[in-house]
Structure 1
């Protein structure tokens, strides 16, 4: 069974930790256990419960009324919410629940159903990326089993590759972006999503993949002279030093502009070399891609 912290619940549900604590005191749907050092932790069932309750609460149901509902009624009420954004959030929550339960067939079935109804493009932007944004924090904190991560990311990787292969733009942008991930970074999903976004806008992409020595990146960059190099950092090996990587990049490849996105950029507080730019959110990434035109 997975054990989740109150911070995990906050990140996944959007409900602030202090609100979760108040709900615990006043209502019955959350009963965390505690470690020997008196730190709260929550079960898989409690995670699934808070996801559903937070969704109902966000779209108009009072928490005191939700507390009186049985789980089946909560699920039924969620299905009746007509708001399109709410339904997208419901799908994302279902993916999270199937992941923590390791119901991989159901996980893929949810994606396939959405693809059939909305197409690969909308599935990537409306469901897959919001799912990755929510779940990325669990990958960083090791609060899910690596087996869960591998099974889920391989499915998503397949869907993204299908989307990339089918991506087409009638407009061709005369810009080239080289995509890579440094040594120690194996989480390819975020970079594949960027590949999809760039290709769908008509940008030429050179995709080098994951876990690359900087000398290989330098060789291709000098040979192909892309307009930008781009990397996405989600969760790297323990011996990876972000500051050292940025310094080495600037020293070896400083003539090439590097754009960095991903969770690690949000935690980096030191000075960034002149040749490097951080994109701290999806809107920032989208603005960068739009500015290439």
Structure 2
């Protein structure tokens, strides 16, 4: 994990359990034990975070906290793994989880193909794969899967999106809007960016895809070469609000006449401080929704 010290507000944000509830559970059942800094400030470590994430999974699926509190750490982990694996009734979601847990590429391919036949490629990604990745994140944080399994699944999805993009194979028109897509230095999670690249190309946009971890010093030269009409970027790694604001402000100031879409999580505390030409993931989805989609 990126940090080994979490406030109770961090636990609330990551688990979805209100801080007030966590305090009650801590006092009544002793389910987590905070540490204290040299200045007597309470904090929670990685093990407490994993435990709370597992408790959250069980509690959401009907387990009472009084029952959970009597479980050993081993029992808690086993029950949480079972819930994560079988907690949803839809066969497709269960098969996606099975393909992740067992690293079964054939099962994944069959499940994905069935979803695409039923709902189409874009709806499959939006309605199944993106929510599935959210669930993977929770499972990874809870310790029910390991990074290798997450990488396995990410690469399968990445390949599906790249293959789907290549099948479009349509040159953009002379008056097509040019979209430049990139991730800043240190950002490697490109599943979302790849999907937006696909979606924009399918709608007749000309896209220039730079990919992961692009050095910021190289961007002005790229801007002058391809003259983008819009820019799409984002951060998915845990970030400090001020770091995001600095990144967003510098990019928006560099291209004040362009709309710049920031995908991924945007810290709530600084949303109102973003420049006027900064847009969000919701704005990007709206743009795609109302843009002409080629046949």
Q: Provide TM-score, normalisation by structure 1.
A: 0.64
Matched, 1:118 2:110: no
CA contact (8 A) 1:24 1:31 kept: yes
CA contact (8 A) 1:164 1:195 kept: no
1:101 equivalent in structure 2 = none
Q: Give the drift of 1:228.
A: 0.7
How many residue pairs are counted as aligned between the two chains?
A: 268
Distance in 2, matches of 1:77 and 1:182, equals 33
Q: Give the drift of 1:290.
A: 1.8
1:129 equivalent in structure 2 = 130
In 2 relative to 1, CA 48–259 (structure 1 residues): closer, same or farther, beyond 3 Å? same
Q: Deviation per CA, 1:39-85: give whole Å up to 9, x if none.
A: 3452635533421321x24xxx8767888998788847994865x5x
CA contact (8 A) 1:181 1:233 kept: yes
Distance in 1, matches of 2:258 and 2:227, equals 8
- SS of structure 2 residue aligned to 1:33: coil
Aligned counterpart in structure 2 of residue 222 of structure 1, from 221, 224, 229: 224
CA contact (8 A) 1:183 1:211 kept: yes
The alignment's C-alpha RMSD in Å is 4.9
Q: Give the drift of 1:156.
A: 0.8
2:154 equivalent in structure 1 = 156
In 2 relative to 1, CA 76–193 (structure 1 residues): closer, same or farther, beyond 3 Å? closer
- SS of structure 1 residue aligned to 2:228: coil
Runs of 4+ residues over 6 Å off in structure 1 = 1-4, 61-74, 134-139, 168-173
- SS of structure 2 residue aligned to 1:268: helix
Q: Deviation per CA, 1:171-212: give whole Å up to 9, x if none.
A: 989433110122343333332233244345453321011222
In 2 relative to 1, CA 190–138 (structure 1 residues): closer, same or farther, beyond 3 Å? farther
CA contact (8 A) 1:178 1:207 kept: yes
Q: Give the drift of 1:161.
A: 3.0
Aligned counterpart in structure 2 of residue 44 of structure 1, from 50, 54, 72: 50
In 2 relative to 1, CA 204–151 (structure 1 residues): closer, same or farther, beyond 3 Å? farther
Q: Give the drift of 1:288.
A: 2.7
- SS of structure 1 residue aligned to 2:102: helix
1:231 equivalent in structure 2 = 233
- SS of structure 2 residue aligned to 1:32: coil
In 2 relative to 1, CA 286–237 (structure 1 residues): closer, same or farther, beyond 3 Å? closer
1:166 equivalent in structure 2 = 164
2:35 equivalent in structure 1 = 35
Distance in 2, matches of 1:277 and 1:10, equals 28
2:21 equivalent in structure 1 = 19
CA contact (8 A) 1:81 1:87 kept: no
Matched, 1:106 2:102: yes
CA contact (8 A) 2:54 2:142 kept: no
Distance in 1, matches of 2:15 and 2:92, equals 15
CA contact (8 A) 1:190 1:232 kept: no
Structure 1: unaligned runs, 5 residues or longer: 99-103
- SS of structure 1 residue aligned to 2:177: strand
In 2 relative to 1, CA 248–78 (structure 1 residues): closer, same or farther, beyond 3 Å? closer
Q: Provide TM-score, normalisation by structure 2.
A: 0.63
Q: Give the drift of 1:124.
A: 2.9
2:289 equivalent in structure 1 = 290
Distance in 2, matches of 1:259 and 1:43, equals 32
